[in-house]
Amino acid sequence: MGDVTARTRKSYEQYCGIAVALDRIGDRWTLLILRELSFGPHRFTDLRSALPGIASNLLTERLRDLEEYELVEQRELPAPAARVVYALTPQGRRIIPVLRALARFGLPMMADPVDGEVKPRHAIFGGFGALFEPLAALDVELRIRFLLDGEEHWLEVSHGRLVRPDTSAQPDLTIEGTAAALVELCQGADEASLVPRLRIAGSAQARRDLEQVFLATATTLV
């Protein structure tokens, strides 16, 4: 692992995995930058748009730190895009289950969601995805299509893992409605109480898999 030597760094100076991790990712905004990059590569302007409270110079500094720690890298997309994006390195992708655990921890502490104020990808990957139970999914194959507030997103489960979804195939389940209603479902709300703001369509087996792999945890968080 690369150490940052160009600038003075605060350190907990403890021989502890948590302390060492926080030395690298504990600064303000760093985890949220990693959250955005966990969704896929982003341009600098994409990150600024997703994190409206961060100043450009601070975002530049945080990205530079993450590159020096070998958690983030720059990639140049081929033509016709021909643009530079930031992406997680293989080492950086190790943060994804940590982000999922933090999202699960914070889920019951969030204020009541409001329609139109919740980003669909945050509801899906930071809420719904945070409830994913790998052990419960060992024998499950499940492809889910989300249509939330006019945006389309996919999740796919294969033998205990969340994998890159095959969006050319038919979904086993379609979840359609508002991102806020999906967060309410993740917080333990009864599905029937969310109609018509949220509708889940699919086979009986797919719905059982959904309950087993994702929603079984929702009611235990509060």
Superfamily of domain 116-220: SCP2 sterol-binding domain (3.30.1050.10)
Distance CA 48, CA 27 (A): 17
Distance of CA 6 to the CA centre of its chain: 31
Are 218 and 187 spatial neighbours (Cβ–Cβ below 8 Å)?
yes
Q: Say yes or no to pLDDT of 6 above 50.
A: no
pLDDT band for position 57 (cuts 50, 70, 90) = very high
pLDDT band for position 9 (cuts 50, 70, 90) = low
Q: Does domain 17-89 have CATH number 3.30.1490.20?
A: no
Residue 207 tokens read as 């719905």
pTM of the entire predicted model = 0.85
pLDDT band for position 79 (cuts 50, 70, 90) = confident
pLDDT band for position 162 (cuts 50, 70, 90) = very high
Write down the domain spans for the chain. Answer: 17-89, 116-220
Q: Say yes or no to pLDDT of 200 above 90.
A: yes
Distance CA 123, CA 198 (A): 13
Q: pLDDT per residue over 129-160, tens digit each? A: 999 999 999 999 999 999 999 999 999 999 99
